[in-house]
Structure 1
Amino acid sequence: MVASQTGFPDTENHWAKPFIEGLANQGMISGFPDGRFRPNLPMNRSQFAAILKNAFSQPEKQRAAPTFIDVSQKHWAKEAIQYAYETGFMSGYPGNRFRPDTNLVRVEALVAIAAGLNLPLSEISDVQIELPQLYQDVDKIPGYAQDRIATATDANIIVNYPNPKRLRPTQVATRADVAAFIYQALAYLGQVPDLNSKYTVAFQTTREVSHQREFRGVWVTSVWNIDWPSEKGLAAEQQQEELIEIIDRIEELNLNAMFLQVRPTADALYASELEPWSEWLTGTQGQAPEPFYDPLEFAIAECHKRNIELHAWFNPFRAATGSQVSTKVKPHISVTHSNYVYQYGKQLWMDPGVKTVQDWTYNVILDVVDRYDVDGIHLDDYFYPYPIKDQDFPDQKTYEAYQEAGGELSLGDWRRDNVNKIVERLYTGIKANKPTVKFGISPFGIYRPGQPPQIKGLDQYEAIYADPKKWLEEGWVDYIAPQLYWRIEPPAQSYPVLLQWWTENNPKNRHIYSGNRLSKLDGEEWPISEYEEQVEISRNLVSQISLGNIFYSMKVFTENRLEVLDQFKSSIYSEPAVVPTMEWLKTEPPKTPGNVRARDGKLSWQKVCDGETCYWTLYRQQDGVWRLYKILNSATLEIALESGVYALSAVDRIGNESLGVVVSLG
């Protein structure tokens, strides 16, 4: 034979080409003098011994080799035959014979590899049970070989062409067969990448594993520089450092979602051609960060590295606050369509009744859905502004035009209809563009006074023209996050009473995430125990689709007010959790992790290229119960672990989870 080469003319369209070339690249296998590999030729025992010696240098000597009477001192494979025998790969025949020129059969090759690599026999009970389902010709496997075939199957070493379900154990092994077996054995050892061939017999013990899902979010507010950035005009590097610090803290707290305010006042904390850069970011409206970067793109990448969802938070109709001093520039809507933007109190507001305004907000939000890998789109409670005493919102001309065109709704119903239209349109548009992007709103926590009877407070239905009860009835949101910014005890705005009402007015079973006002934490009227109890109340209503909490705002965590971090980590969120699934979006789980291996104190695996896996959940069995041990990002394919029984699952972007692949370590 000749020196190895990476391509052979007679393997170009052969099923075993990737295995053969993989070994040739490693110098472990070679072709013939004419440059061909001849993959379909049978392989004899001496040729097999030579390949074993080239491929496996790790096995230790287990026994002394006898002097085989049919292997002369000058035999070309004498050293390889001695190696294969001494390391336990191969055995001889009675009478001190090796039969070097006898053709190898497939079962003999597989048993040799399993024995020489000392594949464990202690973990094969599940495989043995499944052998009849894996191989149609299981009855052809010799009795002496069944345990070794089970271990080789468990290690994903067996490759069957053309039918993976036919082992053909007694057929002569071709050069292609042996190349495939050897390559897969090296993949098992972690020395070459797994090829995920459709002819590889993939067996993995799987179990259904799960944990209590919970949505755990926090609002990161940019308006007035409440949370991020800490002040206007910071250098890009400082902005990024602050953002990473926030996201690291979210991960540390076992939270799983960040709501980043990216459009506080008809401006953008991301690169947009539709609206100007935000004053809250750079200090000057229309001025990009220096040096340039895209904060939203940056935040998404950093969140996804840590298995945290990023929901882009928009204010739909506020155009400016009273504290903004930067000159408005194109394409800010107050410049391009000033006739649809009104002064109301100290703020500027768009007119939701104008189609141009509706189109503007819709296009801005759908632009982000289209260009960014966001997990969700989030609106807050600002549709029409909260009322100012003795001052009506100045949209009379728009309403009169509506009436002149034949509209018959009252002013209040017309305003609510304007809000309903944008909510429905956004939900429909988002799902048409990216069906798995979630859409939710955080309305004022009281729907209407007297609902339920003891509740008093602002009537959002009449005051800001929001009708979240209708949004739930119509299924125009994936979740609702009512801002339940009151304590448990006061009856007029009781946290548990209000939460119960929201869960009871949810006919399509959309998710309910309570909004909690963490910013009130003071150790007196608002002690940390208040928040612990509120979270527990939310959990007690899980059967009514109360599935989590969102905290306002991040600043309390950033400054670690009253040692809040320790309290959250030790009692509220002491263990990680994956977000709850949304059955109306997608229910099919991703494929299980591939080629899961436990060896040398490490667990390793491969991503099955299905385009769905976003991260991994690792469970550990404790006292017969599976407990979520870690959540790992999609780039992680190996982890050091202590001894134990583990199950690894793949999770897609909306929380659907595969079966767990069970392995024992140590």
Structure 2
Amino acid sequence: MIRIIRPSNLSVLALVAMVIPIAECEDSLWPVREFRGVWVATVANIDWPSSRHLTTSQQKHELDLIVQTVHKLNFNAIVFQVRTAGDAMYNSSLDPWSYYLTGTQGKSPSPYWDPLAYLIEKSHNLGMEVHAWFNPYRARAGSSSRSGLASTHMANRFPQYTYGYGHNLWMDPGAKVVQDYIISVFSDVVKNYDVDGIHIDDYFYPYPVQGQDFPDSHTYNSYKSNGGTLSYSNWRRNNINDLVQRINNELHAMKPFIKFGVSPFGIWKPGHPSGIHGLSSYDAIYADARKWLVEGWLDYLTPQLYWKIDPPAQSYPALLDWWLQQNSKNRHVYAGNDVAKIVSHGWSAQEISNQVKISRDHRSLLSLGNIQFSMKYFISNSHGIANAFSALYTNKTLAPVMSWLNVSRPVSPSNVATDSSSILWSRDTSGAIYYWAIYQQFADAWNLHTVVRAEVTSVSNITKGFYAIKGVNRAGVESSPIVVQVHGSTAIVG
């Protein structure tokens, strides 16, 4: 049972109160904020679960190991793939349970559990964010057949807008009924789960298949017959623009603190910047990610910069610089890094470390973090990648502040007191607190000691020294600190 210590109780603990000088709390002394994310891919059982035949107990064990590893390495966000192809890694009222979870699409876990709810609870208990990652239009991966899909699957809801293309099944982004359904899926998660963010990656229109046209001409002809004037390509881009803008507007209207992020292919168009060659996401998959950033239709952009630093045709720093230069609305940019290439292409762990350092060097331009693909390489410590990140992420930190989100300002903790090894405070009654951040002073700086949920009112096993407690809201804004000094059986509170 947690005991709340109020000022009248201080003499019981032989505490002496005094004001700690505010100079102890100058902004420059607090840890630098950084988004440290990792993608957990569920499609084809890439990261989790390792097999669709695991028991519930085995699935939970693997998810526990993911959370523990992310926390141990001082990451602060998990980007969890909840919808791979019109399916669900959570209890959805719209999409069927995922084949990759139970081996049969539409079959619920037995014994029952909800992976997304479980992950959120475990991660939030450790002060880490969870971003729900969706693939909007892919209807099936690895097969262009509807055979075996659940009756509630979107391909069966809208068969007239479902196409086999290459080795996948795809929904038509130009069909408004499909877009409305996808928005309802996103809204369902935001309404029913305490996710910190919503995340979509680079699958909009499918990547081109040689010798095969995406068969949406009847949808475009219908648009034209109803007075539409856009060219075929611009119409396709506009369909994706509409989706991105609607996600941003409608989900923020539901919960203003939701962080909306998009992870597009890393090249907008060849020649941007000069000397860059490769696939044009603008022309090939109709993703105008530059527009989304310029218009501020997202809270963070994660361009997939899956190339080395040196090759001039696809240069990590050159592309990062270019994306940062497009950021006229001052949103956050968290570059995506491909740690999988350490295994698949023989990269060194040092290459990824250097890319993270380059991202940090551009902090003044709002390069404020990175997301790594993908989790299994940290679990296995492939080629020392986990060791490399232990050297990069030496201390804990909170995700960067998103000051534009419409969230109430946090309040400082009240009735703060200590005994010889604990710090205690009163429960928040403002409703503005999401976490309490507890810092410990080392020399002239404060290190983040731990992060606890708003309902927690104490931390234990505290050694002697100076500590500061701040309230943190859903946008990452912190309150003024309350500083305490713990020294044996005596504490000074200010």
* Category of TM-score, reference length = shorter chain: over 0.9
Q: Percent identity of the aligned residues?
A: 46
* CA deviation map 1:307-353 (0-9, x unaligned): 11111100010000125997112111211211110000111000000
Moved more, 310-319 or 608-617: 608-617
Alignment of 1:319-398 (within 5 A): 319-322=139-142, 327-398=148-219
Matched to 2:36, the amino acid is R
Bigger proportion of residues as strand: 2
Kindly indicate whether residue 238 of structure 2 is the aligned counterpart of residue 411 of structure 1.
Answer: no
Q: Distance between the aligned counterparts of 2:369 and 2:415, measured in 1? A: 35
SS of aligned partner of 1:331: coil
1:155 aligned partner: none
1:143 aligned partner: none
Q: Distance between the aligned counterparts of 1:405 and 1:116, measured in 2? A: 78
Q: Say whether the 8 Å CA contact 1:592–1:608 is kept in structure 2.
A: no
1:627, distance to aligned residue in structure 2 (A): 3.0
Q: Distance between the aligned counterparts of 1:550 and 1:348, measured in 2? A: 28
Alignment of 1:542-561 (within 5 A): 542-561=363-382
Query: In 2 relative to 1, CA 224–593 (structure 1 residues): closer, same or farther, beyond 3 Å?
Result: same
1:524, distance to aligned residue in structure 2 (A): 7.9
SS of aligned partner of 2:425: strand
Matched to 1:270, the amino acid is Y
Query: In 2 relative to 1, CA 522–115 (structure 1 residues): closer, same or farther, beyond 3 Å?
Result: closer
Q: Say whether the 8 Å CA contact 1:486–1:494 is kept in structure 2.
A: yes
1:124 aligned partner: 18
Kindly indicate whether residue 192 of structure 2 is the aligned counterpart of residue 298 of structure 1.
Answer: no
SS of aligned partner of 1:594: coil
Match of 1:658 among 479, 485, 492: 479
SS of aligned partner of 2:424: strand
Q: Distance between the aligned counterparts of 2:448 and 2:332, measured in 1? A: 22
1:253 aligned partner: 73
Query: In 2 relative to 1, CA 599–498 (structure 1 residues): closer, same or farther, beyond 3 Å?
Result: same
Q: Distance between the aligned counterparts of 1:116 and 1:347, measured in 2? A: 69
Q: Distance between the aligned counterparts of 2:368 and 2:167, measured in 1? A: 38
Q: Distance between the aligned counterparts of 2:318 and 2:253, measured in 1? A: 36
Kindly indicate whether residue 111 of structure 2 is the aligned counterpart of residue 217 of structure 1.
Answer: no
2:444 aligned partner: 624
Alignment of 1:454-473 (within 5 A): 454-473=275-294
Query: In 2 relative to 1, CA 114–662 (structure 1 residues): closer, same or farther, beyond 3 Å?
Result: closer
Kindly indicate whether residue 64 of structure 2 is the aligned counterpart of residue 244 of structure 1.
Answer: yes
1:118, distance to aligned residue in structure 2 (A): 5.6
Moved more, 386-395 or 644-653: 644-653
Kindly indicate whether residue 426 of structure 2 is the aligned counterpart of residue 532 of structure 1.
Answer: no
* CA deviation map 1:165-212 (0-9, x unaligned): xxxxxxxxxxxxxxxxxxxxxxxxxxxxxxxxxxxxxxx999455320
Match of 1:492 among 298, 304, 313: 313
Q: Distance between the aligned counterparts of 2:13 and 2:341, measured in 1? A: 63
Q: Distance between the aligned counterparts of 2:36 and 2:98, measured in 1? A: 28
Match of 1:313 among 121, 130, 133: 133
Q: Distance between the aligned counterparts of 1:244 and 1:208, measured in 2? A: 37
Q: Distance between the aligned counterparts of 1:378 and 1:271, measured in 2? A: 18
Moved more, 558-567 or 439-448: 558-567
Query: In 2 relative to 1, CA 281–665 (structure 1 residues): closer, same or farther, beyond 3 Å?
Result: same
Runs of 5+ unmatched residues, structure 2: 488-494
SS of aligned partner of 1:621: strand
Q: Distance between the aligned counterparts of 1:515 and 1:117, measured in 2? A: 50
Match of 1:277 among 78, 83, 97: 97
Q: Distance between the aligned counterparts of 2:281 and 2:140, measured in 1? A: 22
Query: In 2 relative to 1, CA 526–464 (structure 1 residues): closer, same or farther, beyond 3 Å?
Result: same
Query: In 2 relative to 1, CA 205–547 (structure 1 residues): closer, same or farther, beyond 3 Å?
Result: closer
1:586, distance to aligned residue in structure 2 (A): 3.7
Aligned residues: 477
* CA deviation map 1:355-390 (0-9, x unaligned): 111111111111111111110110010010000111
1:529, distance to aligned residue in structure 2 (A): 0.8
Alignment of 1:574-585 (within 5 A): 574-585=394-405
Q: Distance between the aligned counterparts of 1:528 and 1:278, measured in 2? A: 33
Q: Distance between the aligned counterparts of 1:360 and 1:125, measured in 2? A: 56
Q: Distance between the aligned counterparts of 1:441 and 1:230, measured in 2? A: 26
With the length of structure 1 as denominator, give the TM-score of the two structures.
Answer: 0.69
1:505, distance to aligned residue in structure 2 (A): 0.4
Q: Distance between the aligned counterparts of 2:201 and 2:250, measured in 1? A: 18
Query: In 2 relative to 1, CA 118–503 (structure 1 residues): closer, same or farther, beyond 3 Å?
Result: closer
Q: Distance between the aligned counterparts of 2:11 and 2:367, measured in 1? A: 55
SS of aligned partner of 2:340: helix
1:125, distance to aligned residue in structure 2 (A): 5.8
Q: Distance between the aligned counterparts of 2:91 and 2:443, measured in 1? A: 52
* CA deviation map 1:636-659 (0-9, x unaligned): 612222221111112122211111
Matched to 2:261, the amino acid is G
1:293, distance to aligned residue in structure 2 (A): 1.2
Query: In 2 relative to 1, CA 416–612 (structure 1 residues): closer, same or farther, beyond 3 Å?
Result: same
1:453 aligned partner: 274
1:523, distance to aligned residue in structure 2 (A): 10
Q: Say whether the 8 Å CA contact 2:465–2:485 is kept in structure 1.
A: yes
1:612, distance to aligned residue in structure 2 (A): 2.5
* CA deviation map 1:275-316 (0-9, x unaligned): 111111101011000011111111111111111111110001
Aligned CA-pair RMSD: 2.2
Kindly indicate whether residue 254 of structure 2 is the aligned counterpart of residue 427 of structure 1.
Answer: no
SS of aligned partner of 2:417: strand
Q: Distance between the aligned counterparts of 2:10 and 2:55, measured in 1? A: 59
1:544, distance to aligned residue in structure 2 (A): 0.3
Match of 1:641 among 462, 467, 470: 462
With the length of structure 2 as denominator, give the TM-score of the two structures.
Answer: 0.92
Q: Distance between the aligned counterparts of 1:335 and 1:117, measured in 2? A: 66
Q: Say whether the 8 Å CA contact 2:256–2:407 is kept in structure 1.
A: no
Matched to 1:477, the amino acid is L
Q: Say whether the 8 Å CA contact 1:208–1:660 is kept in structure 2.
A: no
Matched to 2:449, the amino acid is Y
Q: Relative contact order (alpha carbons < 8 A, sep ≥ 6): 1 or 2 greater?
A: 2
Q: Distance between the aligned counterparts of 2:143 and 2:236, measured in 1? A: 27
1:465, distance to aligned residue in structure 2 (A): 0.1
Query: In 2 relative to 1, CA 491–273 (structure 1 residues): closer, same or farther, beyond 3 Å?
Result: same
Q: Distance between the aligned counterparts of 2:193 and 2:367, measured in 1? A: 29
Matched to 2:394, the amino acid is S
Query: In 2 relative to 1, CA 488–124 (structure 1 residues): closer, same or farther, beyond 3 Å?
Result: same
Match of 2:298 among 464, 477, 498: 477
* CA deviation map 1:225-272 (0-9, x unaligned): 000111113211211111111111111110111111111001111111
Runs of 5+ unmatched residues, structure 1: 1-21, 23-109, 128-203
Matched to 2:401, the amino acid is T
